[in-house]
């Protein structure tokens, strides 16, 4: 058995990642510390280095989402295949004794060769012609305790939200049997071996990490059952894959969906036996499940005869394209959704509005933008004016720059301004550190740098955490007015909007000016109305007379 490559812990709140891209192919020789894959979480992209020299054996397909600590590949040396291909009596006998001392994941992987033979030979009752089957029965006929794995540093308990397999059901290795929920995310629980599932905890119960949630008895897997019934005419569908199985070219993974694929098939109501797997050893990948969208069309006519009369009328009354598609939410979108709901539920959020005459800033930009770009090699935009104005106002109204931590209020003497950026995979909020100390060109250069990293999906977690105040600009998309949601744990966020030529009164005269609405959403638990309104009025004053920013008045 080669060296297992597992998904490392990449952040306190990150519980799963997606295999974005394999940089090395299956069976390819790799060197220690050579980058073999790119991983994506809901916050950033990571590189996965090889932990040793050897031959790479990929176990998880590109595009699949898996939990922290999951084995995704093995690196074997020159003698690794020979060791795995020796199912002698000594190795088989050692397997049950060695398994209890290891973690639950390794129990089913102690001897890959024995695992494959158990899948081919089946249980002792199914064995009729193979002399090896009784010898392998002890290694697959024991009981494996499945415990709740560690899913995050700060998560101490989970709830069994739903059993996907009933008590007493036959399950295959890596088949998703339950969904677990914590206070931060939902997780899938895969079976650690093939056999009979026995529930140890009821649906809806909340249990601690490390608690036994189920037991898997015996070694009868879906693969062995299919082999036993292969001669029967009713099992015609699996038959083409059986000769390859008997030849030793498949494993427990054959015909088994990955966790992501299993969930997609379950949502579509498609039986895994009706899907041809294209992954390693015949595993059903996420792409296979998505491409199987047309399969449910066959059962539909069987259910139609009951309401026979209304069905044709409804079909005739509807014309045009009626297609729909289902896509799994990305990790980034799940995190954004969870945090937005949390902010709405846990803060006393309120929004105050004002408007700004943008003519002075536009005149200043038109006058100096060419010289500014020539000297600093960066354009002069509106964001640097807003950032400077916000930093001045935050110094005067420190509660807007503060945050609640338990029973305390943390006041910040610095201004780390978060700038909302629309990246290809969703909204990200990189942070400009100590923005109060930067000049106009320094702010513009930092915005260009962070926006470039966001577009290339190269922002790190450190670059997106720790801000004290957020600025978001919906005006670039045409928004005239909005109520932005606070970026927790911050206490306020400023929303910019589009610039519209509107009539306003100046010195008793009606004139047309480029006007922008500003919105300040704030947590009323820490920021009073006087502070929020005064803060926004101060920002308005600084923007309508930019010389105040230079003179500090």
Yes or no: say if 428 and 454 are a contact pair by the CB < 8 Å rule.
yes
d(CA 158, CA 12): 16
Q: Which helix (DSSP H) or strand (DSSP E) does residue 300 occupy? A: helix 300-303
35-44, 265-274, 494-503: which has the highest mean pLDDT? 494-503
**Whose CA is closest to 265, among 245, 236, 287, 247?**
287
Residue 108 has pLDDT above 50, yes or no: no
As a whole number of angstroms, the distance between CA 147 and CA 144 comes to: 10
pLDDT, residue 17, reads: 85
Which pLDDT belongs to residue 117? 39
Sequence-distant (≥ 6) Cβ neighbours of residue 232 within 8 angstroms: none
- The confidence band for 136, taking pLDDT boundaries of 50, 70 and 90, is very low
Beta strands in 84-205 (DSSP E): 143-147, 157-163, 170-171, 176-181, 186-190, 195-199
Structure tokens, 105? 């994941």
Cα atoms found within 13 Å of the Cα of residue 455, Cβ hemisphere only? 6
Omega of the bond leading into 507 within 30 degrees of 0 (cis): no
User: Which of 329-333, 359-363, 485-489, 537-541 shows the lowest mean pLDDT across its residues?
Assistant: 329-333
List 519's β-bridge partners, or say none: 353, 495
Strands across the sheet with 71-76, in order? 3-6, 71-76, 54-58, 29-30
Decide if 139 contacts 118 (C-beta within 8 A): yes
- Spatial CA neighbour of 118 closest among 92, 94, 81, 97: 92
pLDDT in the model for residue 129: 39
Tokens 């297609």 sit on residue: 323
pLDDT in tens, 426-470: 778 999 999 999 999 999 999 999 988 888 888 888 888 889 999
Q: How far is CA 103 from CA 96, 109, 116, in A?
A: 13, 10, 20
Cβ atoms < 10 Å from Cβ of 31 = 11
What pLDDT does residue 245 have? Answer: 38
Q: Is the pLDDT of residue 484 over 90?
A: yes
Residue pair 39/46 in contact (Cβ under 8 Å)? The answer is yes
User: What is the model's pLDDT at position 160?
Assistant: 87
Q: State the CB neighbour count (10 A cutoff) for residue 546.
A: 17
Q: How far apart are CA 2 and CA 83, in angstroms?
A: 9
Question: Is the pLDDT assigned to residue 513 strictly greater than 90?
Answer: yes
Give me 364's structure tokens.
Answer: 């200043």
Would you place residue 186 in the very low, low, confident or very high pLDDT band (cuts 50, 70, 90)?
confident
What CA–CA distance (Å, rounded) separates 279 from 59?
Answer: 9
Of all residues in the chain, what percent carry a pLDDT higher than 90?
31
Which of 33, 167, 370, 524 is catalytic? The answer is: 524
What stretches of 301-389 adopt beta strand conformation (E)? 349-357
Can you give the pLDDT at residue 442? 94
The predicted model gives 228-254 an average pLDDT of: 43
pLDDT at residue 103, as a whole number: 44
Is 528 annotated as catalytic? yes
Count other Cβ atoms within 10 Å, centred on residue 213.
22
pLDDT exceeds cutoff 70 at 253:
no
Place of tokens 């915005």: 447
- Where does 332-551 sit in CATH, by number? 3.30.559.10
Average pLDDT, the chain: 77
For residue 134, what pLDDT band results from cuts at 50, 70 and 90? very low
Give the model's pLDDT for residue 98.
Answer: 39
Q: What angle do CA 214, 219, 222 make, to 5 degrees?
A: 95
Band (281; pLDDT cuts 50, 70, 90) = low
- How does DSSP classify residue 118? H
**Where are any strands of DSSP class E within 164-235?**
170-171, 176-181, 186-190, 195-199, 206-208, 212-217
Residue 251's pLDDT band (boundaries 50, 70, 90)? Answer: low
Residues in the chain, total? 553
Domain segments of the chain as ranges: 332-551
Residue 61 has pLDDT above 90, yes or no: no
- Where is mean pLDDT largest: 148-157, 327-336, 416-425? 416-425
524 catalytic residue (yes or no): yes
- DSSP states along 2-59: -EEEEPPP--TT--EEEEEEESS-TT-EE-TT-EEEEEE-SS-EEEEE-SSSEEEEE-
Asked if 40 and 211 count as a contact pair (C-beta separation under 8 A), the reply is: no
Find, among 40, 296, 319, 14, the residue nearest to 151 by Cα.
14
The residue from 26, 33, 370, 528 that is catalytic is: 528
d(CA 355, CA 474): 15
């Amino acid at each position: 058995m080669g060296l297992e490559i597992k998904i490392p812990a990449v952040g306190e709140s990150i519980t799963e990642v997606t295999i974005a891209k394999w940089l090395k192919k299956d069976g390819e020789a790799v060197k220690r510390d050579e980058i073999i894959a790119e991983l994506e979480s809901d916050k950033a992209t990571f590189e996965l280095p090889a932990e040793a020299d050897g031959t790479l054996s990929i176990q998880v397909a590109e595009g699949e989402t898996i939990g922290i600590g999951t084995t995704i590949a093995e690196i074997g040396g020159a003698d690794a295949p020979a060791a795995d291909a020796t199912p002698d009596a000594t190795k088989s006998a050692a397997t049950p004794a060695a398994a209890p001392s290891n973690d639950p994941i390794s129990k089913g992987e102690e001897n890959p060769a024995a695992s494959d033979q158990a899948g081919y030979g089946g249980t002792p009752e199914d064995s009729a012609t193979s002399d090896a089957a009784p010898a392998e029965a002890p290694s697959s006929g024991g009981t494996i305790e499945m415990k709740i794995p560690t899913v995050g540093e700060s998560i101490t308990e989970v709830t069994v939200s739903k059993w996907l397999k009933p008590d007493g059901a036959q399950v295959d290795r890596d088949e998703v049997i339950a969904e677990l929920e914590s206070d931060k995310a939902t997780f899938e629980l895969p079976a650690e071996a093939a056999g009979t599932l026995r529930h140890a905890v009821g649906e809806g119960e909340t249990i601690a990490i490390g608690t036994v949630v189920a037991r898997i008895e015996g070694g009868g897997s879906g693969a062995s059952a299919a082999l036993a019934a292969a001669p029967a005419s009713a099992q015609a569908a699996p038959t083409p894959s059986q000769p390859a199985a008997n030849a030793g070219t498949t494993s427990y993974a054959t015909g088994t969906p990955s966790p992501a694929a299993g969930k997609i098939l379950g949502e579509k109501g498609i039986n895994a036996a009706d899907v041809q797997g294209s992954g390693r050893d015949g595993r059903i990948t996420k792409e296979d499940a998505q491409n199987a969208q047309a399969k449910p069309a066959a059962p539909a006519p069987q259910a139609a005869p009951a309401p026979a009369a209304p069905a044709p009328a409804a079909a005739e009354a509807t014309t045009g394209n009626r297609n729909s598609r289902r896509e799994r939410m990305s990790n980034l979108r799940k995190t954004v959704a969870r945090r937005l709901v949390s902010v709405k539920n846990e803060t006393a959020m309120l929004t105050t509005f004002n408007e700004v005459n943008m003519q002075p800033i536009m005149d200043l930009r038109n006058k100096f933008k060419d010289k500014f770009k020539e000297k600093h090699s960066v354009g002069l935009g509106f964001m640097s004016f807003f950032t400077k104005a916000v930093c001045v106002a935050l110094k005067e109204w420190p509660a807007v720059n503060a945050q609640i931590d338990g029973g305390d209020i943390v006041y910040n003497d610095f201004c780390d301004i978060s700038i909302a950026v629309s990246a290809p995979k969703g909204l990200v909020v990189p942070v400009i550190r100590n923005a109060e100390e930067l000049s106009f060109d320094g702010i513009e250069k930092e915005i260009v740098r962070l926006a470039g990293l966001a577009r290339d999906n190269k922002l790190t977690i450190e670059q997106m955490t720790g801000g004290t105040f957020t600025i978001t600009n919906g005006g670039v998309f045409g928004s005239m007015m909005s109520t932005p949601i606070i970026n927790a744990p911050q206490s306020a966020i400023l929303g910019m909007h589009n610039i519209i030529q509107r009539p306003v009164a100046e010195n008793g005269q009606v004139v047309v000016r480029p006007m922008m609405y500003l919105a300040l959403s704030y947590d009323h638990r820490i920021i009073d109305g006087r502070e929020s309104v005064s803060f926004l009025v101060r920002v308005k004053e600084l923007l309508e007379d930019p010389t105040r920013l230079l003179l500090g008045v």
